[in-house]
Structure 1
Amino acid sequence: MIPQSFVQDLLARVDIVDVIERYLPLKKSGANYFACCPFHGEKSASFSVSPSKQFYHCFGCGVHGSAIGFLMEYSGLGFVDAVKELANQAGLQVPDDGKPGTGAHEDATSKLADAMADSSRFYREQLKHSKEAIDYLKRRGLSGEIAARFGIGFAPEEWQSLQRVFPDYQSKHLADAGLVIDNDQGKRYDRFRHRIMFPIHDRRGRIIGFGGRVLDSGEPKYLNSPETPLFEKGRELYGLFLAQKAIRDAGFALVVEGYMDVVALAQFGVDNAVATLGTATTPHHINTLLRHTSRIVFCFDGDAAGRRAAWRALENALEALRDDTTLAFLFLPAEHDPDSFVREHGADTFRKAAAAATPLASVLLQELKERCELDTAEGRARLIHESRPLVTRIGAPMLRLQVIKALAEASEMTQAEVEQAFGIKPATRPKQDGPMPDFRRSPRPAQPARPQGRRKPPSAIGTLLRLILQHPAWAARLPIDLVPDDSAEGRAMIAIIDLVSLGEPIPAGGLGALIERFRDTPHGETLARLGTEQDESEFEDAVIETLFDDTLRKLHAYAIDREIAALLEHSRDGSLSSGERHRLTELLLEKRNLASAGKLSDL
């Protein structure tokens, strides 16, 4: 847990324009800055950054948020990592959460990261002086530029070469980082020897592990760092840190099986590839990639081993599927891997093949059908039997429905029968009295189209909340009993007033900071929506105080009307007390006074 006060102080210190300009070229237009949106393909600049609101918004895809939200979306970081990254850019130290051992854990993690960085520099330097390693990379067609981009190095054929980097070679953190091994006799030696070294980065760019590729025919062919406090194979993807922008530009992420595939594809300009680290693709891998793109293409060799790997990836992807995303599979000819295919056929052919990759649902259905003899009753029954544990795991409701319909057709059963066999409750229509109306003969009247470029005028509470977004400190002037809680805007306003009443300072970092204060609550989305609708010049400074006071008077009048209506409703059964009758008289008089003063003329 990062203290909320630190998050707000951080957002107050940074300028969202400076933060985003590190990643996007922004061009000033009027009060705001604009760029082509990095989160969806477009040719015109619809991505807006507001210095006054400290808030970004894309008018094309609707993405929006604060400086922290931008780092989370753009770099695929979690909230904590995004705060740390932003704090690092601002030169601030993130405080710990007060839990015992937190500071010590951070120090230990920092030592491991430093050891990995020092080792990587050593391996890169060794590559410069190893003719056999350079010759190997040249034979694989890699240029010096690509080797430098990926930080490729070489671990010499020595038992304790890292002793040249770490004089305290017996230090515990070297073993904790997975750089050395202690045998049963207590002797320590380097884990990686006589191997091409591929540093593995996390999404912040830190080196957290290595993959080593043997130069000769030794075993194992690839050797990865072990699981460490920095490195967890099932959560990391090789090349993702470098591929993030290319993935957004290409519109999809390409998942291949090995380091050399990623590097070789990059050599030919296919920069949107990542690789798993000696493990099958995990749901976490898929969720990580779906933060960057809505389309993932898995590329596998066309041989039996590639088909098995593809099926494991498919099984692990089922729960992560969403109806607004696409997962597809590209099977190369049996004699090729991505490296050899792109060298023989070129990058354009490879990209076309990736664009035509087979969607996951088609691969799933094809594989299931091939396992069963569909011209027999037994084969069709087996199809449903083998489908059930897979189809019921599909996380995308509409896609699951499409697969069920396809299985029903292939098995010569009805959709309802398949759903019953799967234990899925079919959708039911509500019971009605009388015959079902024929909607084809009684069409719903067409609704008039709302004029483009216009929106419904905001309610009084909507106007007040927009004013508070522009001047958050004014929330202290609001009496909470005037704010109705029957709308999202009203509930958001009450939450802001509660913030003030508890003595918590109103965020000073603009709309973006206010939204961050209510992250993961319904109020955050309400504030963000209003912020995207609000023009910079919606309220002129000359009249904003008057508008604020008038809106408060409107809310006061609404409160009077509500209380009068409640008392009149109560009076219908003749049960008003003398106090309630006196209160009703006061309210009616107050309303008449407001009306005579012309305060209700616009209601």
Structure 2
Amino acid sequence: MIKYISPTFINNLLDQIDIVYLIKNRVKLKKKGKNFFGICPFHLEKNPSFVVNSTRQLYHCFGCGVHGNIIDFIMNFDNLSFLESIESIANIFNIPIIYAKKSYLSKKIYKNNIYYKLISNLSIFYKKSLFDPLGKEAYKYLLNRGFNLYIIKYFSIGFSPFYWTNKISNNTKNIKILYEKLGILQIDKKNNNYYDIFYNRIIFPIKNIKGLIVGFGGRVLKNQNPKYLNSSENNIFHKSNELYGLFETKKENNIIKKVLVVEGYIDVISLFQFDIKYVVAILGTSITNMHIKKLFSITNKIIYCYDGDKAGIEAQWKSLKISLPFLVNGKQIRFMILPDGEDPDSLIRKEGKILFEKRINNTLSFSKFFFKRLFLKNFFSSCEEKTSLIYKALSFIKLIPDYFFQINLIKKLGEKIGIINLIDIYDSFKYEKKIIINNNFKKTTIRRLLSLLIQNPKLINLVPKLEFFKSSNINGLFFFIKFVNFYKNQNLTTVKILEQYRGTKLKKVLETLLTWNHMIPDNEIENFFINLIKKLKINILEDRQEYLISLERIKGLDYKKKQELWSLNKILIKKKII
């Protein structure tokens, strides 16, 4: 039976406990003034940056950014759920727990618990199937790839048989509908039977940081596309949040000095088998902000180790750019460039653990990879090219929160370009740097457009009519279209825009956008704005395209939507060629 605790009890609990008393039994704290300082338990550090405030009953770490009340601390420190942490605190202080008669648990959480159970049961079925006669070929494939029985069982690898129960009885129909919502089952419209989207694939269960299975990855046995298939996005699985192997990495290490980020399941499993147990894999996508936050909460060093080909190098560069806002003092990213044609799985099997770890210990630092990549195709045949490179480099460097790291990078840039006093240029956007840190804004296309409009209101006349789909997943698009439609054909000024939002939460946001320095000469602002609009239009069409493809996969498209998808494909191909 699911337990419920009322908000009233939680508030009373927080009133009765002392956060300092509880935390100092887990972290050594030293009082300085009104606050207590200690070494943060959530990341590696030498100097104490973890602060507990007894007056506000809150904690905060200036190193990794974790913060919250005592419930948050217990959840993170003891790896407990929200309910479990409350029960733990109540037991420590001998406070009787009063469970609510009325449910305060949302339907969403209740459904999620059902999904966790269903997906766990399915994983057990897949594991069993690998060792059944139907899984003989899959098991043989894994052995031929060099995996031993222990590692196969450790990662709960399984196999999806080529069939699924086609007869739908009254007892199983509802369960199958739930599996369909998880994106695992689909209906064959020809015979109205359910089939498993992972059929005839080797199954890799994907666990969240708590060890709960949230999805699957499936690999084909023979050469056919797609080679890998992940669970679709659903209530409990979001690939931008999850990292394959993160739970196992935390499980195997009390202190995680570094984490290797690779591209695939096989890479993680192979490295673990060779006793390199600090590896995670992204799930068929680029590294995300959430991924980096999770990794930097358990380690101070991230090493990107992608395949040794052109696509792998491009992925390394993209990871560098996404990582920039997270490079605070003490945090570092490094790059492990593999030989051409190799991946972590193939290389460790050729070289073994000792040589592979030598490569790990000799990875490229951020600065070396940054400048190597930046100067790859830049031969300064003109002042214009040199100026363009400076702006490009500074646009990346200014996103780094660590000011002294910025200074060193700019000095190095000046040496390479031949401008000794380049550091003076940086003073022009010191203020903008502070705004970015305080507000933690990512410069999306929508925000750049709004920023330029606030700074140069006349640009609003260049905005064409934009189409908005109800299915749109582009953050801020609805607001942007509403903003443009409201202010178009008005005698618009920056002051009027800000005054319109006085007393609202958006005012502070717009004031921040007003301070953004786009590093663009005045005579190029209009063209830059037009290009951003073109980019936005493509993003809108791509977003609609992705929605229709997803819809087709789930339940199919009617004739009208098929025509729309065909038209979108044609338009996007043409736009990208142009």
Taking structure 1 as the reference length, the TM-score comes to 0.57
Q: Contact 1:247–1:292 at 8 Å: present in 2 too?
A: no
Per the alignment, do residues 165 and 153 of structure 1 end up closer, same or farther by CA in structure 2, a change over 3 Å counting? farther
Cross-structure match for 2:114: 111
Q: Which residue of structure 1 lines up, in the alignment, with residue 473 of structure 2?
A: none
Q: Which of 344, 348, 352 does residue 358 from structure 2 map onto?
A: 352
SS of 2:229's equivalent in the other structure is: strand
CA contact (8 A) 2:410 2:423 kept: no
User: Is the partner of 1:370 in helix, strand or coil?
Assistant: coil
Instruction: Deviation per CA, 1:97-128: give whole Å up to 9, x if none.
Output: 987xx531121111111110010000001001
Question: How far off its partner does 1:159 sit?
Answer: 4.6
In the other structure, the counterpart of 1:69 is: 73
Query: 1:402–1:192: structure 2 CA closer, same or farther, 3 Å change rule?
Result: same
Q: Tell me if the contact between 1:73 and 1:292 (Cα under 8 Å) persists in the aligned partners.
A: no
Q: Per the alignment, do residues 323 and 3 of structure 1 end up closer, same or farther by CA in structure 2, a change over 3 Å counting?
A: same
Is the alpha carbon distance of 1:107 and 1:319 closer, same or farther for their aligned partners in structure 2, counting shifts above 3 Å? same
- The one-letter amino acid paired with 2:82 is V
CA contact (8 A) 1:85 1:204 kept: no
- Within the candidate set 419, 437, 442, 2:426 is matched to 419
Structure 2 residue aligned with 1:122 = 125
Report matched runs for 1:94-493 at 5 Å: 102-129=105-132, 130-160=135-165, 167-168=172-173, 171-182=176-187, 187-246=193-252, 248-374=254-380, 376-413=382-419, 414-419=421-426, 423-424=429-430
Could you tell me how far apart the structure 2 residues matched to 1:256 and 1:321 are? 20
Contact 1:198 1:259 in 2 (8 A): yes
Change (3 A) 1:20 1:96: farther
Change (3 A) 1:318 1:426: closer
1:265 Cα deviation after fit: 0.6
Counterpart amino acid of 1:123? Y
Displacement of 1:383 in angstroms is 1.5
Amino-acid identity (%): 29
SS of equivalent residue, structure 2 residue 183: coil
| Counterpart for residue 558 of structure 1 | none
Once the two structures are TM-superposed, the CA of residue 85 in structure 1 deviates from its matched residue by: 4.6
**SS state of the match for residue 208, structure 1?**
strand
| Aligned-pair Cα RMSD in Å | 4.5
Q: Residues of 1 paired with 2:162 and 2:42: CA distance?
A: 44
Distance 1:406 1:393 in 2: 17
Q: How many Å separate the matches in 2 of 1:276 and 1:208?
A: 15
Cα separation, 2, equivalents of 1:228 and 1:132: 31
**Mapped pair 1:5 → 2:12:** no
Superposed, 1:578-597 pairs within 5 Å as none
Q: Cα deviations across residues 179-220 of structure 1 (Å, max 9, x unaligned)?
A: 112356665321111011000111111110000011111110
- Contact between 1:341 and 1:350, CA under 8 Å: does it hold in 2? yes
Contact 2:44 2:300 in 1 (8 A): no
Aligned 8 A contact 1:374 1:410 in 2 = no
Name 2:537's counterpart in structure 1. Answer: none
**Aligned-partner residue type, residue 104 of structure 1:** K
Give the partner amino acid of 1:173. Answer: L
Q: How big is the shift at 1:84?
A: 3.7
SS in 2 for 1:328: strand
Return the offset for 1:333.
0.8
In 2, distance between residues paired with 1:333 and 1:225?
A: 31
Report the AA paired with residue 415 of structure 1: L
Contact 1:254 1:297 in 2 (8 A): yes
**In structure 1, what is the Cα distance between the partners aligned to 2:86 and 2:168?**
34
Give the drift of 1:71.
Answer: 4.5
Secondary structure of 1:296 counterpart: strand
Shift of 1:339: 0.7
1:386-435 deviations in Å (ceiling 9; x for gaps): 22332232233222222222222222222345426x744599xxxxxxxx
Shift of the 96–248 alpha-carbon distance from structure 1 to 2, 3 Å rule, reads farther
Secondary structure of 1:336's counterpart equals: coil
Structure 1 distance, partners of 2:16, 2:202, is 46
Aligned pair count reads 395
Alignment of 1:83 with 2:88, yes or no, is no
Instruction: Give the partner amino acid of 1:72.
Output: N
Offset, 1:249: 3.8
The alpha-carbon distance between structure 1 residues 381 and 240, as it changes in their structure 2 partners (threshold 3 A), is same
After TM superposition, give the deviation of residue 6 of structure 1 in Å: 3.2
**Is the 2:71–2:86 contact (alpha carbons within 8 Å) kept by the matching residues of 1?**
no
What secondary structure sits across from 1:223 in the alignment? strand
Structure 1 residue 223: Cα displacement: 0.2
| SS of the residue 2:336 aligns to | strand
SS of the residue 2:272 aligns to: helix
Which is further off, 307-316 or 63-72? Answer: 63-72
Alpha-carbon distance change, 423 to 218 in structure 1, aligned in 2, over 3 angstroms: same
Task: Give, as a single letter, the amino acid of the residue that structure 2 aligns with 1:167.
Answer: T
Task: Tell me the residue number matched to 1:30.
Answer: none
Q: TM-score normalized by structure 2?
A: 0.59
Distance 1:246 1:365 in 2: 35
Query: What SS class does the counterpart of residue 240 from structure 2 fall into?
Result: helix
CA distance in 2, matches of 1:401, 1:94: 56
Q: Which amino acid aligns with 2:159?
A: F
Equivalences for 1:555-566 in 2 at 5 Å?
A: none
Q: Which runs of 5 or more residues in structure 1 are unaligned?
A: 24-36, 43-55, 76-80, 428-603
Opposite residue 10 of structure 2, the aligned amino acid is F
Q: Judge conservation of contact 1:200–1:207 (CA < 8 Å) in 2.
A: yes
Q: Which has the higher contact order (CA 8 A, sep 6+)?
A: 1
Q: Give the conservation status (yes or no) of the 8 Å contact 2:43–2:297.
A: no
- Relative to structure 1, the CA distance from residue 66 to residue 170 in structure 2 (aligned partners, 3 Å threshold; closer, same or farther) is closer
* Deviation at residue 343 of structure 1 after TM alignment: 1.1
Give the unaligned 5+ runs of structure 2.
27-40, 47-58, 92-96, 434-578
Give, in angstroms, the shift of residue 88 of structure 1: 8.0
